[in-house]
Structure formats: C-alpha cells, structure tokens
C-alpha cells in the first residue's frame, strides 16, 4: 500500500484478515506484500488492502528470494504473528502442533533477509507453550543474526482497545535498542491492566461506549443495515438463559437445569499441567453476559457464539466483535460465518497494531550505533503481576540460563523473579 509521506514499509506474514497491516498503515507505515495460507484470510486481506501484492502460500514455501521479488526490495521490517492454535490459554495447548513450527519459519526468514527491524506478536501462551521451547525457537536464530530484541507481555486495553486481551510482543533491531509502546490508557476490569499506566491517562473505552452508536442488530443478513451486524433469534431456552444472567455472569451461574450438557462435560476437563480446572478460575464460561461498564473479555473465534449483549437478550454480532477489535465498520470479512468469526477472533486489534506501528517507527528512526554489535536479548518483561505460574517460571529460568551471559536487563517489580541478577 502506498501511503503519502510514508517513510518505512513492511512485509506482513501470517497476515490473517489484515488487522496488523491496517494498524500499521494508521501509524504511517506501508505494506509491500502480505501473505497467509488460508483462503478466507487471503480474500479478506486483498479486499481491504487494494494494490498490496499478496502471496497465498504456506510459510514453509516462502523463500527470501520470493518475498524480496514480490516486495520489490528488502523491507524496513518483517512483521507478523504465526497462528496461535496450540498456544492460546482459551483453547487446547499442544506444543507438538505442527503449526507451531511456523515460529521457526518466521524467524528463519527474518534471519536470512535481514531487514533493519522486525515485529512479532502472539498470544500470552506463546511464552509457556512446549515448556518455553518456542521462545528459544524465535530468539536463537534472530540473536545469532545480530538482532537486539525486547519481549514484553502487553494488554491491548492499555492502548485504547475496549477489550482485555494479553499479547506477547517482540521487537528486534539490528541498529538500535528496540522501542516498545508506552501505555496510552488506564485500563480496568483486570488486575494486570490496572497496574500499568497512571491516573493522568484517559480511561480505556467500555463496551457500552464502544458499541453505543451501532444500529439495532438485524435477525438475518438480508435485513442488516451494517455488514455482519445480525444474529439469529435465540431459542426459548437460550432466551431464558440470557435473561437470567446478570452482567459478568457465565453458564456456571445458571441453575443446573439450564446449564448446557456440553458445558458440564467441559467443566470436568483438566488443563495441560494436570491442575484441576476448578483451581484455575473455575469451569469454562460457556456463555457470558458482557459487562457494559468495562472493556470486554478477550474476543476469540467463539465470541459471537458465547458473548451475550449486555442490554439485549441475544448474542453479539460479528460486527460488534469486530468493533471491539477496533476494526472500522467498513472493513470486510470474506467467507462463511465461521471463517469470519475466526478471522475476527484471531486478529490483532487495529488500534493496538497502530501503537505497535508507532513503536516500530521509533525503533527504525533510532540509531544507537549497534549495527556492529552482536545480537542479544535486552529486555524480557513477562508479567506485571506479583506471581508467576510454574510454567512461566520455567520459561524464565530457561531464558535466564540461555541468555544471562549477555548484557541484558529485566524491568520488573521487586516481587517478581529477577531474571538478570
């Protein structure tokens, strides 16, 4: 995409529907080429980013030669987030999932092409998946290639997104210390988000504010005044469930006779480390009535099936989910409804992507005279909380033992484990 006055351009890998590119464009960066293997993602990206060359290819089949030829030059940065299946704490954790090896493919392409900078984003579970081995799969080839890298776990709510959603972000640079975005908003509704920022920052928009000017949802696609802003009327049983739920309540708050059988089966599941689910925050939500006075819980591919409107006894529409992901209402999602739901749920929120774009620009603008220095991990902030899970502590130790001989730093509250003594 050609943006008037743009200074830097990127290659966007694992682009999905294009939320990252959309946000980067808002920050003044252009996209030289996008790529994703999944057809609904490719169709959606092309529909919204006219003129950007697109490669619908498996990342394992992408070569530096192909990417540079398609882009026309070496980009200023390569950006992207390998698919989060197998990582997300909202889904099954499976470190052996073949798709997870795409982290290595992403790192290898960057190491071979050697753009001045890169941006990596993924779910928070990336830090602990496969006992932390995927963190090493990302870092090892890139540090060897000379990149100075910062990794932080950020909550998108601290950047004006009306949603509580944690993301693992890595920015690397050959020439400078990477800059990561400072919070722009004071969030609430989640302990971690409330510890970031300060009282002078504006409050993160609530669900009610984010959805306030939307037209009434239709009950069929043909009657919708806004694309994807419709939902089927609930069955009598579902209508009763929705009516009985208070804001913030989930399936577990309903009488047993109204709890769905599939929910009861899932409530007995065990998480990967063997901890009973009741000791990890309780049973899965099943359905949840969204609180209007706070940012939303994380929008996933199941949000339009599970999230109930705070004032109307119905599910959220796909367009409302996209709003909470800060996509503009004119943004098109191409494919069947389930594909659209996945595209929206897997996307990086556009407003957060814009903040990352500003940080990436700051990183590219900086020249700290480090181009001749070896690569290293310069910052690794994995939590703002006082405690870490055993899995996260394991990753911390893994990273500490592997990179502690480097000139690294770890900014963390005194209560946290010190990574770099």
For the chain, the straight-line distance linking the first and the last C-alpha, in angstroms and rounded, comes to 45
Compute the distance between CA of residue 79 and CA of residue 376 in angstroms, rounded to an integer. 19
Compute the distance between CA of residue 156 and CA of residue 351 in angstroms, rounded to an integer. 8
Give kind and range of the element (H or E) at residue 31: strand 30-35
Compute the distance between CA of residue 410 and CA of residue 420 in angstroms, rounded to an integer. 6
**Catalytic choice (27, 84, 135, 419):** 84
User: Could you please report the per-residue DSSP string of 88-142?
Assistant: -TTS-B-TT-GGGGHHHHHHHHHHHH--SEEEEEEEGGGGTGGGGHHHHHHHHHH
Compute the distance between CA of residue 312 and CA of residue 314 in angstroms, rounded to an integer. 6
Helix residue spans in 315-389 (DSSP H): 318-324, 337-346, 350-365
Bridge partners for 35 per DSSP:
55
Compute the distance between CA of residue 5 and CA of residue 341 in angstroms, rounded to an integer. 34
> Pick from 146, 167, 132: which is nearest to 401 by CA?
132
Q: ∠89-150-188 over CA atoms, to 5°?
A: 50
Give kind and range of the element (H or E) at residue 179: none
DSSP 8-state secondary structure symbol assigned to residue 160: T
Tokens of 286: 């099943």
Whether 321 sits among the annotated catalytic residues: the reply is no
Compute the distance between CA of residue 92 and CA of residue 87 in angstroms, rounded to an integer. 8
Dihedral angle sign, alpha carbons of residues 201, 203, 209, 210: positive
DSSP 8-state secondary structure symbol assigned to residue 85: T
What phi and psi, each to the nearest 5 degrees, are found at residue 186? -95, 115
Compute the distance between CA of residue 396 and CA of residue 388 in angstroms, rounded to an integer. 10
Q: Which amino acids are annotated catalytic?
A: 84
């Amino acid at each position: 995409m050609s943006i008037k006055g743009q200074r830097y351009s990127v290659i966007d890998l694992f682009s999905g529907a294009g939320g990252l590119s959309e946000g980067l464009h808002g920050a003044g960066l252009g996209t030289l080429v996008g790529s994703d293997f999944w057809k609904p993602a490719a169709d959606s990206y092309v529909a919204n980013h006219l003129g950007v060359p697109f490669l619908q290819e498996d990342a394992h089949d992408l070569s530096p030669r192909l990417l540079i030829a398609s882009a026309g030059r070496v980009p200023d940065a390569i950006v992207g987030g390998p698919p989060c299946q197998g990582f997300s704490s909202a889904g099954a954790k499976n470190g052996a999932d073949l798709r997870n090896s795409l982290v290595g493919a992403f790192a290898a392409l960057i190491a071979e092409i050697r753009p001045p900078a890169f941006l990596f984003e993924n779910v928070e579970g990336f830090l602990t998946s496969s006992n932390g081995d995927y963190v090493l799969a990302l870092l090892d080839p890139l540090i060897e290639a000379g990149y100075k890298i910062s990794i932080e776990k950020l909550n998108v709510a601290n950047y004006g997104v009306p949603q509580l959603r944690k993301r693992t972000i890595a920015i690397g640079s050959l020439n400078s210390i990477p800059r990561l975005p400072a919070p722009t908003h004071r969030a609430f509704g989640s302990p971690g988000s409330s510890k970031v920022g300060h009282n002078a920052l504006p409050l993160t928009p609530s669900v009610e504010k984010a959805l306030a000017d939307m037209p009434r949802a239709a009950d069929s696609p043909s009657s919708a005044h806004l694309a994807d802003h419709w939902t089927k009327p609930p069955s009598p049983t579902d209508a009763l469930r929705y009516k009985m739920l208070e804001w913030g309540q989930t399936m577990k708050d309903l009488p047993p006779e109204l709890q769905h059988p599939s929910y009861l089966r899932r409530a007995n599941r065990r998480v990967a480390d063997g901890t009973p689910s009741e000791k990890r925050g309780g049973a899965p939500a099943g359905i949840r009535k969204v609180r209007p006075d706070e940012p939303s819980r994380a929008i996933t591919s199941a949000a339009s099936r599970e999230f109930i409107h705070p004032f109307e006894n119905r599910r959220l529409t796909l367009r409302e989910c996209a709003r909470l992901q800060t996509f503009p209402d004119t943004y098109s999602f191409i494919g069947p409804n389930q594909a659209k739901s996945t595209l929206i749920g897997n996307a990086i929120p556009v407003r957060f992507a814009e903040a990352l774009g500003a940080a990436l620009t700051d990183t590219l603008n900086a020249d700290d005279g480090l181009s001749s220095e070896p690569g290293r991990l310069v910052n690794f902030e994995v939590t703002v909380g006082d405690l870490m899970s055993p899995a996260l502590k394991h990753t911390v130790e893994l990273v500490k033992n592997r990179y502690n001989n480097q000139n690294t730093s770890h900014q963390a509250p005194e209560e946290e484990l010190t990574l770099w003594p």
